[in-house]
Amino acid sequence: AALRPTVMGAAPRIFEKAHARVEGMVAEQGLLTKKMFDWAIRVGSSVSEARQAGRRPSLASSLAYKVADRLVLKTIRQRFGGRLRFFVSAAAALDRDVARWFDAVGIVVLEGYGLTETAAASFINRPDAYRFGTVGWPFPATEVRIADDGEILLRGPGLMTAYHDLPDATAEALDADGWFHTGDVGEIDTDGFLRITDRKKDMFKTSQGKYVAPSAIDAKFKGMCPYVSELLVYGEGKPYCVALVSLDGEAIADWAAKNNMADKPFPEIARDERTRELIAGYIDALNLELNRWEQIKKFAIADRELSVESGDLTPSLKLRRKAVIEKYADRLSALYEQ
């Protein structure tokens, strides 16, 4: 690595891509290397779990970890400069399996949470107290309350006083008691860690009356499938969920080159039946981990990668659901007509 940071922050997509890149490179080096790598990750995970539980690893685990670290884990850390104390992830949900993988390697990813209205960060996991799938504990002097509908409410000195020249918007966001309505839905566990479910406006109800949190499904899928950059789950008022898949341009190009499609442009790769079969396998694996009403029954593959430049993503790489749904309305509707 040209840079050797000690602390680094990024959006979840950066960590997902790094995880997928390392896993892909290992897979190309043969079965023996893959088996050794997987063993090292399992050993690292075992030590990570013991550390989080506040207990010392067994003698056997400690010895195995020394070997795994020397042969595999240290090499991965070196790819990130070799000096990292921890990563910080924010702006969207990070798949907890990706977070576990990094922790097994020896680099903890600390998820945090905040908004512009709260002077950026309001919650953060600590290096000595973190829990995967949560955004940690509140900052000092930050109060938190969960409303009856699950919305996260915040109060404290870090809050804005108002939106400039927008009294109606201010009244909607800040109630009479000084609580800021974040627009996010979440829950606090027994140890005080906050878990974000989704944006309140992004959650939807199927025609069966079941609520679906699309961002959580998207994060889980991107942690499983290295060839996808976004998964837009759709199903408001519908009998089942469908999805629009955005392929990761770099990853799918590498895969295509190994499958006799190196000369094909992106749209043709996206339409190729082999690509569809590839993604379908990952969708099937995803569905095994979802509730029945959350499962993706049908999907379409976008003929271009969703991007910031096209207005599909925010600068912090969050999916603009409404904009993308409008652009692909015909293709999404067609999935219910097939």
pLDDT classification of 39: cutoffs 50, 70, 90:
very high
Domain residue ranges of the chain, discontinuous segments joined by +? 7-106, 113-120+136-199, 204-334
Is the domain spanning 113-120+136-199 CATH 2.40.290.10? The answer is: no
Q: What is the mean pLDDT of residues 316-334?
A: 94
Architecture of the domain made up of 204-334: 2-Layer Sandwich (3.30)
pLDDT at 120: 78
Around Cβ 284, how many Cβ atoms within 10 Å? 11
Classified as helix, coil or strand, 328 is: coil
Buried b (16+ CB within 10 A) or exposed e, 127-153: eeebbbbbbbbbbeebebeeeeeebbb
pLDDT classification of 91: cutoffs 50, 70, 90:
confident
**186, 152 in Cβ contact below 8 A?**
yes
Distance CA 247, CA 282 (A): 13
Distance CA 289, CA 139 (A): 33
Mean pLDDT over each residue of the chain, to the nearest integer? 94
Residue 91 has which token pair? Answer: 């702006």
Distance CA 13, CA 246 (A): 13
pLDDT at 63: 96
Statement: residue 1 has pLDDT above 60: no
Distance CA 75, CA 30 (A): 17
Distance CA 92, CA 319 (A): 9
Judge residue 98's burial from the number of C-beta atoms within 10 Å of its C-beta, 0-12 exposed, 13-18 middle, 19 or more buried: buried
Tell me which residue of 155, 148, 121, 156 sits closest to 135, measured CA to CA: 121
Statement: residue 2 has pLDDT above 80: no
Distance CA 253, CA 237 (A): 36
Render pLDDT for 186-199 as a digit per residue (tens, 0 to 9).
999 999 999 999 88
Residue 161 has which token pair? Answer: 């006083």
pLDDT classification of 292: cutoffs 50, 70, 90:
very high
Q: What is the mean pLDDT of residues 29-50?
A: 95
Statement: residue 150 has pLDDT above 80: yes
Render pLDDT for 225-265 as a digit per residue (tens, 0 to 9).
999 999 999 999 999 999 999 999 999 999 999 999 999 99
Distance CA 128, CA 54 (A): 10
